[in-house]
Amino acid sequence: MGQSLITLHGKAFQPYLSASDIAADIDRVAVRLNADYAGRRPLFVVVLTGGFMFGTDLLKRFTGECEIVFIRVASYEGTGTTGQVQEIMGLREDVQGRDIILVEDIVDTGTTLSHLLPTLQANNPASIEIAAMFFKPASLRYPLTLTYIAREIPNDFVVGYGLDYDGLGRNLPDVYVAV
């Protein structure tokens, strides 16, 4: 991994996962997606901003035909969720009859997905599955089914690989945990 300790907005973070660990996790998810969607053309809906790195790396490993769209929502402030989802940029594609793979950077409370899923389901897709880079099962507050999880992590605040701390750290190839 890169550095041993980083500081963002005066908050210290220590190394947690290396870029190579993350890549191996994504490889495992991609193998399953490729098998499950062989011969189909899913629509990957990547949740911005955090999901951009995972979405990019996952889609580079997807070998079938697919389409990609992006939506942007926000529910975080500092190191905690606000508990409310503000939809910033919505989905404009017709999803009726489509296989949807919702791509998230991290699922902790489930607030974002609990807001997005009913909206997507109201448009009658053939299926909706969730692919998340990280999942914090101890934080989950809503009943969700996560089909593709790259890695379960404890209920710690992490930054890097698309995850930020008040806008900083998304560009880090490794993941760091708050100390």
What is the pLDDT, as a whole number, of residue 80?
Answer: 53
What is the pLDDT, as a whole number, of residue 102?
Answer: 96
pLDDT band of 112, cuts 50, 70, 90: confident
Structurally, the chain folds into a number of domains equal to 1
Q: What is the mean pLDDT of residues 6-25?
A: 97
| Predicted confidence (pLDDT) per residue in 52-107, tens digit | 999 999 999 999 999 999 998 765 555 555 556 556 567 788 899 999 999 999 99
Please name the residue ranges forming H helices in the chain: 19-36, 52-61, 111-121
Task: Please give the span between the terminal C-alpha atoms of the chain, in angstroms, as a whole number.
Answer: 17
Task: Evaluate whether residue 73 is within a structural domain.
Answer: yes
Task: Evaluate whether residue 65 is within a structural domain.
Answer: yes
Q: What is the model's pTM? A: 0.89
Task: Evaluate whether residue 50 is within a structural domain.
Answer: yes
Task: Evaluate whether residue 172 is within a structural domain.
Answer: no
What is the pLDDT, as a whole number, of residue 37?
Answer: 98
Structure tokens at 126: 């053939």
| Predicted confidence (pLDDT) per residue in 114-136, tens digit | 888 988 898 999 999 999 999 99
Between the CA atoms of 27, 121, 141 and 18, what dihedral angle is there, to the nearest 10 degrees?
20
Residue 94: domain span:
19-155
Given the residues 57, 99, 108, 174, select the one marked as catalytic. 108
Task: Evaluate whether residue 10 is within a structural domain.
Answer: no
Task: Evaluate whether residue 120 is within a structural domain.
Answer: yes
Is residue 94 annotated as part of the catalytic site, yes or no?
no
Q: Is the pLDDT of residue 2 over 60?
A: no
Task: Evaluate whether residue 176 is within a structural domain.
Answer: no
What is the pLDDT, as a whole number, of residue 90?
Answer: 73
How far is residue 125's CA from residue 154's CA, in Å, rounded to a whole number? Answer: 32
Structure tokens at 92: 């404009």
What is the pLDDT, as a whole number, of residue 111?
Answer: 87
Structure tokens at 20: 């190579």
Domain with residue 69: its CATH number is 3.40.50.2020
Task: Evaluate whether residue 12 is within a structural domain.
Answer: no
